[in-house]
Amino acid sequence: MIPVYLDNNATTRTDEAVVEAMLPFFTGQFGNASSSHAFGSEVAGAVRTARRQLQALLGAAHDSELVFTSGGTEADNAALWSALDVQPGRNRIVTSAVEHPAILACATWLSQTRDVELVTIGVDGSGRLDIDAYRAALGPQTALASVMWANNETGVLNPVEDLARYAHEAGALFHTDAVQAVGKVAIDLSASEIDMLSLSGHKLHAPKGIGALYVKKGVKFRPLLRGGRQERGRRAGTENVPGIVGLGKAAEIAAERLGEEQTRVRALRDRFEHGIVRRLGQCFVLGGEADRLPNTCDIAFDCLDAEAILMKLEQAGIAASSGSACASGSMEPSHVLRAMDVPASALQGAIRFSLSRDTTAGEIDRVLDALPPIILRLRAMSPLWQDRHGQGAGPAEPAEALVAMAGE
Ligand SMILES: *Cc1c(COP(=O)(O)O)cnc(C)c1O
């Protein structure tokens, strides 16, 4: 049985065409892009092409606005450090409670080890940022506001253009972690107020270990890594040429297939989600009321344990992920779901299904067949479920009540 992979927000399969494009740069074209001989100049040309391919996907005005990094985490860290470094009079970072650890852990570290004030803005039950609190937190002390474009667990989208404008009204810089957005939603940075944007190759069918930070022309930037003059002095270290070439190719393909994310992938996701809610009831579609990525479906099953569901799915050849991170052996509910005030009974039962352009209708059918019996069996075995919802394993409610609950 071929496994069904529905964990594309964790990582995607590298596209065959991306691998093809990369291979020569491990063998014949092994030069160092900084070398002045032919070995180097060939490779430098390939890096230039990749930068333009990425520029086109982002609609950036200049290819020099892109700095290749080792991934999303490095791009996020570089943005935070730089914003503080270039504005010595400002020491506040404003961010959201649902950011990826690449932002939250770095910002927390900065606030604990130097004179940096961290303000974390909450979200509502659907994962939407508290815009009033965000605006109130911006002021003359704010160096940077950093709010993700799309959340990796729920797929909830933030109004980043508005957020950038508010940050600018306070004289602060605006950064967005767009790792989950790039390749899934249309982006046009040429007409944007966003100052910095992070992306990662392996979330858009390029390999792991390559990413980029966009730094708008005119925005001051201090490098995180110091050393050689690579990347116009903004990121030292010999370029990861195969990775860069792969990211360029992946960007080109993503631009061609962006429409498919918005139509075919979204339709598959919606069919899956409605099918599950209709068949099972008593499950919360997390972020279901908000604008969301077309590929992400985060569902919390009331009174159940995500690990048990994932184990049964695994046995059925289906890979998804839970909203919990296993910390020191104990299951910690996800910080994203806690920030959304997901009811305690549902907090441990959240499963994220994330599709991609590789996902087929047949695969969705398989999950729609396999998941309901798993949930019904687990409900029948759960004392908590029996307590709250009675003896039946559901669906206990008429369809309308279920939809209301799904969007609660
Ligand atoms: C995956 C991810 C990152 C980290 O990117 P890496 O390339 O794995 O370092 C950062 N932010 C978000 C939202 C992500 O989903």
Q: pLDDT for 262-272, tens place per residue?
A: 899 999 999 99
Co-location of 165 and 313 in the same domain? no
- In angstroms, the Cα distances linking 299 to 105, 351, 368, 399, 401 are 26, 5, 13, 17, 16
Which structural domain, as residue segments, surrounds residue 161? 16-256
- Rounded CA-CA distance 195/173 in Å is 6
Q: What is the mean pLDDT of residues 171-178?
A: 98
Question: If pLDDT is split at 50, 70 and 90, which confidence band does 332 have?
Answer: confident
- The residue from 283, 297, 303, 326 that is catalytic is 326
Co-location of 346 and 386 in the same domain? yes
Res 165: pLDDT = 98
Res 393: pLDDT = 66
Res 333: pLDDT = 83
Co-location of 50 and 173 in the same domain? yes
Question: If pLDDT is split at 50, 70 and 90, which confidence band does 395 have?
Answer: low
Co-location of 295 and 361 in the same domain? yes
| CATH of residue 345 | 3.90.1150.10
Co-location of 221 and 308 in the same domain? no
73 in contact with ligand 1, CB cutoff 6 A: yes
Co-location of 93 and 140 in the same domain? yes
Question: If pLDDT is split at 50, 70 and 90, which confidence band does 400 have?
Answer: very low
Among 214, 236, 256, give the residue marking a domain's end.
256
| CATH of residue 168 | 3.40.640.10
Co-location of 209 and 271 in the same domain? no
- Cα 200 to averaged position of ligand 1 atoms, centre (Å): 6
pTM above 0.85, yes or no: yes
Co-location of 279 and 193 in the same domain? no
Q: pLDDT for 25-81, tens place per residue?
A: 999 999 999 999 999 999 999 999 999 999 999 999 999 999 999 999 999 999 999
Structural domain tally of the chain? Answer: 2
Q: Is 124 exposed, middle or buried (0-12, 13-18, 19+ CB in 10 A)?
A: middle
179 in contact with ligand 1, CB cutoff 6 A: yes
65 in contact with ligand 1, CB cutoff 6 A: no
Q: What angle do CA 314, 318, 320 make, to 5 degrees?
A: 90
- Cα 211 to averaged position of ligand 1 atoms, centre (Å): 9
- Rounded CA-CA distance 217/225 in Å is 20
What average pLDDT does the structure give for the chain? 93
Q: Under 8 Å CB-to-CB from 111, ≥6 apart: which residues?
A: 93, 117, 118
Co-location of 190 and 43 in the same domain? yes
- Cα 189 to averaged position of ligand 1 atoms, centre (Å): 20
- Rounded CA-CA distance 200/75 in Å is 8
Co-location of 399 and 281 in the same domain? yes
Among 236, 256, 276, give the residue marking a domain's end.
256
Among 256, 274, 299, give the residue marking a domain's end.
256
326 a catalytic residue? yes
Co-location of 63 and 163 in the same domain? yes
Co-location of 277 and 398 in the same domain? yes
Res 405: pLDDT = 44
